[in-house]
Chains A and B, each alone.
Chain A
């Protein structure tokens, strides 16, 4: 029933803050920011720490392990690049941050809350995306 997919998904590109994240992704490394002042780990979406507002940070490689915080199974067509249905999930990384992603290598209806998962890179020509599969 599904039509051949000719439109691709919207693929992100790095901005200044997230450049090391996307560079790491191309090398299969999940890079997070760690605040030098309070040690809070965050996704690299801003230059300052959202816990203490410090602008000092260091990039550290995450383990790539986490658990499914929650997920949904999308049946509504919002964008022609996605074949329905698909799961959309929030994974809580072992280091604390939560990342929006998809769980791969599993039927949508087999995904479960709190399921342990591990990162798997979805590679495109100039960007790699962190997806997660059951650990």
Chain B
């Protein structure tokens, strides 16, 4: 018995602002730009939108982020669905999931899911936007204070520690992590939206400075200002709308929790393992059916461990799997075809989702994957703590 929500809804609108070192706009203004563009892209009128799901990004924690007030800022008067959501980098895929469920339940028809962030300030570094040290008190309280006292700062630290564990247990090499960065940069050179479009070699990777060993600068994602909005609509309506629909065939989540927990291999086995079972079962596919992968890539390592957790290779074999360049242009598993968060733009889970939509529509231009039948799109957040996934397809069934 197929899952009744398989193919019940489709993504019908996509709106993206310029992304990167874009200054001078509030997150509300950025979000409004993305929403306006998405509504026009879908061929809708504003009043047809009856659902709004909001994800604030890092400025939701640091200040100036999107709030529920976005509804009034946009003048949306007839919402039947509204929420402000945050499960870090897994939120974008989750918003599409909740929109799909609400649509299938008859609660709403056209649901806008929007992300906006502007952590970059003119004249300051990308690292400053996410570095927690500047915000930590001089006398941090309780056991949590041991992190700051040990110099465990930012997101770079847990991901470096996770990658190190994988390297020690499975023999993964720096060259293999570098192969991911190189493949994604090759895609980015073909993407006019990407921030980093200069070609890059493995030597360039190795000569980029250390952030925290084993992560070089070029293992780490960009930081971007900007906004992305997507619209989810019923499949029955989507087929007659302005854009080629990108149907939602599978949905899944997995949240293993705190990396400090005792037991378990948080470093090398992520929530992707849990989400994979659910998303594949709903879509009725397996890893050998996936033709395009848009995987959350806050770090090169996140891609490697996600490939393993989704069964593209055995656990521990992610290094040899990526080494031959199969993720890049012309490879057998086109992955992060817009350059991803490493070389494209960093809009949390909207990075893989936006590129999945572009690929699903066949609008990838020079970077269009040859076969877009089954697109896996993942989101990850926290310290490999939160995970959500979609399987998308240009086909209704």
Interface string of A81-107 (1 = CB under 8 A from B): 010011011101000111111100000
Chain A residues with CB under 8 Å of chain B are 9-15, 17-18, 21, 40-45, 50, 69-76, 78-79, 82, 85-86, 88-90, 92, 96-102, 112-114, 129-130
**Residue B156 at the chain A interface, CB threshold 8 Å:** yes
Contacts of B141 in A (CB 8 A): 12-15
* Interface set, chain B 127-144, CB cutoff 8 A to A: 127, 131-134, 136-144
Does residue B24 face the partner (Cβ distance < 8 Å to A)? no
> Contacts A12-B141, A43-B143; is A79 near B133 (CB within 8 Å)?
yes
Binding stretch for chain A, among B44-52, B163-171, B234-242: B163-171
Decide: A74 and B151 in contact? CB cutoff 8 A.
yes
Q: How far is the CA of A112 from the CA of B271 in the complex (A)?
A: 26
A15 to B151, CA, bound (A): 20
Which B residues are CB-close (under 8 A) to A129? 146, 149
* Cβ B156 vs Cβ A98 within 8 A: no
The distance in angstroms between the C-alpha atoms of A17 and B143, with both chains bound, is 9
Report whether B210 and A75 are in contact in the complex, using a CB–CB cutoff of 8 Å. Answer: yes
Q: A10-B149, A113-B168 are in contact. List 5 more A-B contacts (CB 8 A).
A: A10-B133, A11-B145, A42-B262, A72-B161, A114-B168
Whether the Cβ atoms of A96 and B262 lie closer than 8 Å is: yes
User: Considering the chains assembled together, what is the distance between the CA atoms of A88 and B152 in angstroms?
Assistant: 6
User: Which bracket fits the contact residues of B?
Assistant: 35 or more
Say yes or no: A76 contacts B127, CB within 8 Å.
yes
CB pair A10 B161 closer than 8 Å: no
Task: Enumerate B193-242 residues with CB–CB distance to A below 8 Å.
Answer: 209-215
A72-B164, A78-B132, A88-B152 are known contacts. Are A12 and B213 too (CB-CB below 8 A)? no
Question: Which B residue sits closest to A98, measured CB to CB?
Answer: B260
The residue on B at minimum CB distance from A43 is B143
Contact partners of A114 in chain B: CB under 8 A: 168
Complex: A100 Cα to B260 Cα, angstroms = 8
Q: How far is the CB of A49 from chain B (nearest CB, A)?
A: 11
